[in-house]
Every structure is written in C-alpha cells, then in structure tokens.
Structure 1
Amino acid sequence: MFKKIIFSLFLISYIAQSQNVVKGTFTGVNENKWVILYQLKGVNQNYIANADLVAGKFSFNIPENSPKGMYRLTYDIENNGFVDFLYNNESVEVEFDPKNQVETLKIIASEENKLYYNYLNEIEIIRQKLDANQLTFFRTVEEDKKEFLKDEYSKVFELYKSTQTKFEEISVGKLANHFIKSNQKYYSPAIINTPQEYLNSEKEHFFDFLDFNDSELRNSVFINQKIIEYVFYLSQSDDVQVQTALYKNAVVEVLQKIGENKALASEVSGTLMLAFTQMQNVTLVDFMLESIYKKLPKEFIDDALVLEIENKMKLSIGKIAPDFSWDVKGKQQRLSEYNVSDTYILVFWSTTCSHCLVEVPELYEYTKNNKNIRVIAVSLENDELGFNVYSEKFTNWTNVLGLEKWQNSIAQQYNITSTPTYFVLDASKKIIAKPEHIQDVKAFLLENSSPK
C-alpha cells in the first residue's frame, strides 16, 4: 500500500511538472468575465480552452505535447480584444489593462516572449522615426532642412540595421527568431526623393524578408497578416474600377511569390476570398473562385469553404437573384421567366409584422401606378388569412404566398431573418440594390427609375 501511495504521488508530481501554464492578470477597471485560448494556424483559430476571470486573474494548463507556435488570448470578441504570444514549451504570464492593452502589456514570465516583445517595441520606435523623417522630407521645400533630414535619416537607418541584427543574433535557436527575421522591413539606405518612388520601393521590397515556406510562420497568422496588408493597404484608389484592378494585380503578385506551395496558396486564397466576401465584392470573389481557387489540385480545395462563400455572395449586388416559382391560377410562374417590367422590387413581408403593415402599404401607394416598376411581394405567413385580405388590396402587385414563414423555401433561399426585406432587380433579375427601409427604396427609385 505504501509503495502504491508513493507511486501515485510520483505520478501526480510528474503530470504537474509536465504541464506548462499560461496565466495573466487584468489591471485597471475590469468588466471582462472570461478569457478564451486559441492556437493560431494560418487562417484558423483552433479553440483550446476557456477560463473564468477570478479577481482579474485567469490561468490555463498547457499539456507538454502542445505544439509550439503562436497562440491567442481573446478577452473581448465584440471589440477585437486579444493578446497574441509565442508558445515554445515554457510557461507564459502576462499582465495588462484590457482597456489599453497595447501600452500596458507586460510579459511577466516567458523568456521567448520577453525577447519578442522587446524587439517589437524597440524596432517600432525606430521605424516611426524613419517614417517621420521620410514624410517630413516630402513636405519640406528648404534645401538646408532637406539636407538635415537626409543626415538624420541616415543615422536612424544605421540604428535600425544594428537593432535588427542584434535581435536576430540573440534570438538564434528560439522560436522568436523566425518572427524577428520575417518582421524586418526594407528601408532605403538613403532618404527617397518622391512619394511615388517611395510607394514603388514599398511594393518592390515588401516580401524581401518573408519566407513563405517557413513552417513556424505557418503555425501563426503572420504570413496571412502580411498578405492582407500588401493587398489591401498598398493598393488604394478612389476609382472603383481602378481599385478592382489593383486588387487583382496584388493577388496575382502574392500568388507568384508563393510559387508552387499549393497548401499555402490554398490557405492564402481562402483568406483573401473571405475578405472580399466580407466586402461583398462580387468581381473579386468570382475572380478568385473561378480563376484561382477552383483551379488548385482537388486535395487543396475546401468544398465547405466554397459553399460558404457562394452562399454569402449569392445575394450580393451584381448577382442574379435566386430563382423561384409561384402559383398563378394553377400554373407555375418563375422569376427568371417573368418579363413584365424594367425594374422589379422584391419585398419579403408578413401581415403579422407591425413594421410591414406601415411600410408595405406605403410602398404600394408609391408604386401602384408606375408601369416601369413591378413589385413582387412575398408574404411569409403561417396561414392564408392575412395574405388573402391584402392581396385584394394590392391588386397592381404580384402577390406570392410563402407558407411556413421563416421555414419557407423562398425565404431560406434569400436568407430572410427579418421583415420587411427589400431587393431591387433589373430586367435580367440582377440585384442592383438592397435598400434597408422604405425611404431607401424611394430614394433609389427616384434616382434610378425611368419616368412614369
């Protein structure tokens, strides 16, 4: 028995020692109640665990076999509140004020993260000086001041190079070394004379220090963040068509840099497609899906991702509205074959919706005598009673009964979650507007519809 107790104590001790801890303290006024721990890998946030905050403190046990890489402590999802850290088989402890995390973050334990965050803080200060000198130079006319700025820039540039080299050397053999080397940014040894030359230099050298095949960087969001920055912040124009062309060129350039690494090309393409999906940019999403992503080898195509994107984009402005049919005196009429007008307003509403009973009759009065506009009113109901009453009032509309309300097949095709919901379609049934309220519908029609 005694031997068993000794063995049990030894086993408990061994298990305890085989685990590292990630813990932290929130300083200042704290309204947060929990923290979630994720492992970051490419575009994915892999959930690890969650912990309650007790007296402003939290703690996670990390098993010994946990993969090294970049992890994230998320404490405020709505306001994008998180702290990223490197994990390399050592305990990590942080302290910060959640209302001012950037300026208050302290690494209490973890030599790896102390080194990495010291680097980030030091190098950022120097970069700000270099950028400030360069920007001031562009705005300066006096030659003597320009010469002074050139001299100052050269001094700061040398400090930048020596600081970068110092941290690269002292981080050799550590996980942080991969991020420190790849975080380096190209700066011209001498100040650049014009903004256009500066922008050209930024784009030409943006990926000089990034190793796309570094597996340690892949176990993080580092590569994806750099690519997002290149595509969306170095390619800007106020002209929509020019902006689209710039985005396309930037995407092609990034994929050329990646080369034959199909796994990374798939991951990066997925990241960019999701970003363009969020922007509801039909042109760019279609370009990436059809010209890039679907042309990858089959094993690198995520069918679930394709379905998700296509579902999110099917109701975007510029897309053909999802087709559906309805009954007209025993015959089926299809939206795609319905050719009675130049402009269609598709409105989803319900006779049990108080907002609808205000807006929809107003819309009827506004459109009933306009021959260039046809309203297709899909009434989402649990029974026919209300629909029958209003169909007799809205005689100049096409009235469609959608039984089973939210579960109605047409409502689900159009992702309807609230009523009234409006879509404006052109003669080919392409979605040209998605007004939010009746006033928006009127404003759009006033600006775009042909005279009555």
Structure 2
Amino acid sequence: MINRKSKKYKMQKNSQVFLIILFLTTHGYSQQIKIEISNSSFSKAEVSYLEGEKTFFIDSIISKDSGKFSFQIENKHTGFYRLAFTNNLWINFIYDGEDVNLQTNAEAVLDNMKVINSQINELYYDFVRLNKAYKTKTDLLQLILTRYPKDDEYFEVTKNRVAQLQNEYRNFVENVSLQMPNSFIERYVNSSQLPIVDFTLPLEEQLTYLKTHALDKVDFNDTGLIYSDVFTNKSIEYLMYYRNPQLPKELLEKEFMVAVDTLLSKAKVNPLVYQHITDYLIDGFKKFGFDAAIDYIVKNYVIVDDLCLDEETESSIQKRIDQAKLLNVGAIVPNVILPDSNGSEIDLGNLNANKTLIVFYSSWCPHCQELLPELYKLYKKQNNLEVYAISLDEEKKAWLDFVKTHSLDWINVSDQKGWNSKAASDYYIYATPTMFLVNRDRKIVGKPLTYDELMKLL
C-alpha cells in the first residue's frame, strides 16, 4: 500500500531543496579570478580598481603556490582592475561579472598573455597588441611615405601596405562591435581606437587633421569609461599633437592651453567625465611644473564652472583656487608689514608710488634667479614704480647674499618663516616667483606670470 501523503510530502521537500540549491547557485555565486604569472616567485599581490591612472586598493592576496593567484570580486562595477606585484610589475584585466582566467610570463607580460577564460579580456589584450603593432609599423611606414620619391615603385608598395594595415585596424574595431554590441569592451575599443590619417599628406596637414578629428570617436558622455584608461590616454595623446620641443616653456604652455580648451569643452557634456579629465590634466601639469597651464584650468574651468575635483587634487591646488577667486584683478591686496635687512618694519600700505610690484621669491628658486635681475633692470628704468620684494627664505644669510649678489636696492623684506610666513598665507602663495602689480590704493592691476606680461601692464 502506498502512503500518498508521505510521497506528496517528500516531493514538496525535494522541490524546496531544489529551489534552495537553484537560489544559491544563481545568487550566491562569486566570480572567480585566476591569474598565473610564470617565471616568478611572487607570493603576495594587491588588487585595485582603476580610474585613469589612479588606483584604488581593494584587497591583498596571498598565494600558496608562487605566481598563482585566485580570488573573487564581489559587488563591484564593470571596469579595469589591477593585480600588482613587487618590482613595479602588474597585470590589468577587465571585470564584467564573469570568470577571468589569465596566464602569462613575468619576462614579457603582454607578449605572453594567454586568456584562458573571458571573451572580454581576450578582446582587450588583442586590442592592446594590435595598437602596439599598428603604431610601430605605421610610424616606420610614415617616414618612407614622407621622404621616399613618389615616382618610385616602392612608394606605391608602401602606400598599399599602409592601406592594408588601416583596413585591418578598422575591421578589428567593427568586429568587436558586431561580437559584443553595447558591451564595456565594445565601448572601450570604439573610444580608444587610434585616429587613421592619410600619410601621403604633408606632415603639417596630418597634424592639422589630428588636432581637428583625433577625438571624434571618443564618447565623452560614457561615465562607465571612467573606470578605464580611455580618457587619460586620449588626453595625453591629444596634448602630444601640441608639443613642440623647440618652444620655450612659456610658449609650450600656451600651446597646451589650446589643447585643454578642446578637451574640456568636449568633456563638459558629462559632469563626471569633465571632473575626471580635469583632475588628470592638473595632476599631469603639476608633475612637469607647468604652473601657467594649471592656473589657466583653475581660472577658466574650475572656478567658472564651480567644478568639484577629486579631494586629493583639490587639496593640492586649493591655494591656486583661493588666489584666483579672492585676489583677482580689481581686488585689494592684504596689507603687509615685514622687516627689512636692518630689522625696520616696512609697511606696504605706506608706499606712495603710482604702481607697486609685489614679488614673492626665494634665493634657491631657479626661475627667481633668472627673473629678479631682469626685474631690477626694469625697475631702474621705470619712473614711479616701486618694488616690494618678499623673500620666502628661512635663512637670513641666504636671503641677504642673494640681494647683495644681484645688487637689489629696492625694498627687500622677509620674516624668514618661508612658506609659513603670514604674507605667503594671506596671498595664497603656492609657487615662486609670484607677482602682483597694484596701484596706489593697493588694487590689483595685473598678475603677470612673466617679464613680458609685466612689460605689457606697465
């Protein structure tokens, strides 16, 4: 005799178990990341996610088997991630919610990279290798097309080879779009693709084309691409079109300002992308000491659009922002009372010249060593111009030796407190030399960055 009630209970119980297992397998599954780097003894690594060139730490990984790392990424956004080892070696990969399995060799990470599992990473590394090969080959072929006689048969052979490489490159980009439409990798490849140029054009025309069209394919409205290197790579790539090693720093910065205008005007379509690229440009210009370019960005973009920057970036340029906002042309500068070389206090407010040049400098600053002697020559030629020179030296001897060496018999003052000087704080000084040209009422007439700019104001 069959107990139908018991059988029904068992079926219900089995169904419940099945549903629990199904739930666990569909909702409790964590994506597995496996990365093996042979020819290495790495036992520790750090996992981070990327935003351009910035990395954000997630976790430390310990390997039981040297060079083999296995870990999980849970509840994270799609984008670029990095497994970093010692000796400045790392492996980038794209996480999109799927398993990733990569194998490579420490001696040549890119060349030996094998993607065992993950279509998105296979396409990514194919694209990276394609970019490298395409650029290497076309750079060499471009030289031939530029210099080789056009009536020679080899010129035509080279021209055809370039066309073939360009078609192969276009085909790759199109195939990625067909294989994975609207995916992260498809959007990444489309925005990252190199511009294709007609190398038979004169070099100046090629450069003009690049300045005009190099950013055409970049989707500045794609917030998700912040978690990649697209916008930073494209920014530096575009800046390079304006680089001229023969130009002095002052003129080079002006060229970069033109590039900045193009980049940031396009980036404004998306507030987060706009912030991301602005952060990157400021950080980059800081590394190379391009203060005029940074000031240009702060004045024309950060302040005008009340742009919120990365906390670290904003902190590093806060004085620039404050100076640009509070001590702009037309503002009245704070009064300064500082001792001269004899200890007598000199009150800026008591000066009666039509114009006074307030200059902050230091004896150890190379640019100051060049600029101040030139300013002194100008000072001697100008009628009714006073100079109030504030040294940020901390050693009195260094300050006075500098004054004596260059015979600077204008007003020289210092409290030997360096960057902690109240005057430096009141004027939001972040670099030397810094100049303010003021009238009799201490109202700012101009803030020249160079000798030539000062000449125009006088």
TM-score normalised by the shorter chain: which range applies?
A: 0.5 to 0.7
User: Match for 1:134 among 95, 120, 142?
Assistant: 142
**2 CA distance for matches of 1:83 and 1:412?**
48
User: Match for 1:372 among 398, 404, 408?
Assistant: 408
- Structure 2 residue aligned with 1:21: 32
User: Match for 2:242 among 235, 238, 241?
Assistant: 235
Query: Residue 288 of structure 1: CA displacement?
Result: 0.7
Matched, 1:109 2:117: yes
Query: Residue 28 of structure 1: CA displacement?
Result: 2.2
- Structure 1 residue aligned with 2:393: 347
Q: 1:133 to 1:184 in 2, by over 3 A?
A: same
**1 CA distance for matches of 2:173 and 2:28?**
36
Matched, 1:57 2:64: no
Contact 1:22 1:92 in 2 (8 A): yes
User: Match for 1:268 among 272, 277, 282?
Assistant: 277
Contact 1:37 1:73 in 2 (8 A): yes
**1 CA distance for matches of 2:179 and 2:106?**
31
Contact 1:343 1:372 in 2 (8 A): no
Matched, 1:38 2:48: yes
Q: 1:112 to 1:424 in 2, by over 3 A?
A: closer
Contact 1:343 1:373 in 2 (8 A): no
Q: 1:21 to 1:132 in 2, by over 3 A?
A: same
Identity %: 19
Query: Residue 113 of structure 1: CA displacement?
Result: 0.5
Contact 2:49 2:56 in 1 (8 A): yes
Query: Residue 45 of structure 1: CA displacement?
Result: 3.1
- Structure 2 residue aligned with 1:449: none
Query: Residue 14 of structure 1: CA displacement?
Result: 5.3
User: Match for 2:200 among 183, 192, 198?
Assistant: 192
Q: 1:16 to 1:94 in 2, by over 3 A?
A: farther
Give the match's secondary structure for 1:70. strand
**1 CA distance for matches of 2:114 and 2:148?**
39
- Structure 2 residue aligned with 1:211: 219
Q: 1:324 to 1:61 in 2, by over 3 A?
A: farther
Contact 1:345 1:373 in 2 (8 A): no
Matches within 5 A, 1:395-414: 409-410=420-421
**2 CA distance for matches of 1:84 and 1:69?**
10
Letter in 2 for 1:93: N
Matched, 1:282 2:328: no
Matches within 5 A, 1:310-389: 310-311=318-319, 346-348=392-394, 371-372=407-408
Letter in 1 for 2:38: T
**1 CA distance for matches of 2:214 and 2:190?**
13
Deviations 1:171-216 (A, max 9, x none): 335432112222323324x542311122122222212221111233
Contact 1:42 1:223 in 2 (8 A): yes
Letter in 2 for 1:86: I
Letter in 2 for 1:47: F
**1 CA distance for matches of 2:63 and 2:94?**
22
Query: Residue 252 of structure 1: CA displacement?
Result: 1.0
- Structure 1 residue aligned with 2:331: none
Q: 1:400 to 1:248 in 2, by over 3 A?
A: closer
Deviations 1:141-185 (A, max 9, x none): 362132222233233333333333233322335432112222323
User: Match for 1:201 among 174, 188, 209?
Assistant: 209
TM-score (norm: length of structure 2): 0.65
**1 CA distance for matches of 2:303 and 2:320?**
17
Give the match's secondary structure for 1:372. coil
User: Match for 1:120 among 120, 128, 134?
Assistant: 128
Query: Residue 94 of structure 1: CA displacement?
Result: 2.6
Query: Residue 89 of structure 1: CA displacement?
Result: 0.8
Give the match's secondary structure for 1:239. coil
- Structure 2 residue aligned with 1:395: none
- Structure 1 residue aligned with 2:77: 67
Q: 1:102 to 1:337 in 2, by over 3 A?
A: farther
TM-score (norm: length of structure 1): 0.66
Matched, 1:166 2:175: yes
More off after superposition, 165-174 vs 285-294: 165-174
Letter in 2 for 1:118: D
Deviations 1:91-124 (A, max 9, x none): 2233334453333333233222012212332454
- Structure 1 residue aligned with 2:444: none
Residues paired across the two proteins, number: 376
Q: 1:52 to 1:324 in 2, by over 3 A?
A: farther
Give the match's secondary structure for 1:348. coil
Query: Residue 411 of structure 1: CA displacement?
Result: 11
Letter in 2 for 1:22: I
- Structure 2 residue aligned with 1:383: none
Q: 1:427 to 1:180 in 2, by over 3 A?
A: closer
Q: 1:366 to 1:312 in 2, by over 3 A?
A: closer
- Structure 1 residue aligned with 2:265: 256
Deviations 1:353-380 (A, max 9, x none): xxxxxxx97997787687437999xxxx
Contact 1:344 1:426 in 2 (8 A): no
**1 CA distance for matches of 2:193 and 2:163?**
17
**2 CA distance for matches of 1:97 and 1:373?**
66
**1 CA distance for matches of 2:423 and 2:113?**
46
Contact 1:40 1:219 in 2 (8 A): yes
**1 CA distance for matches of 2:225 and 2:414?**
56
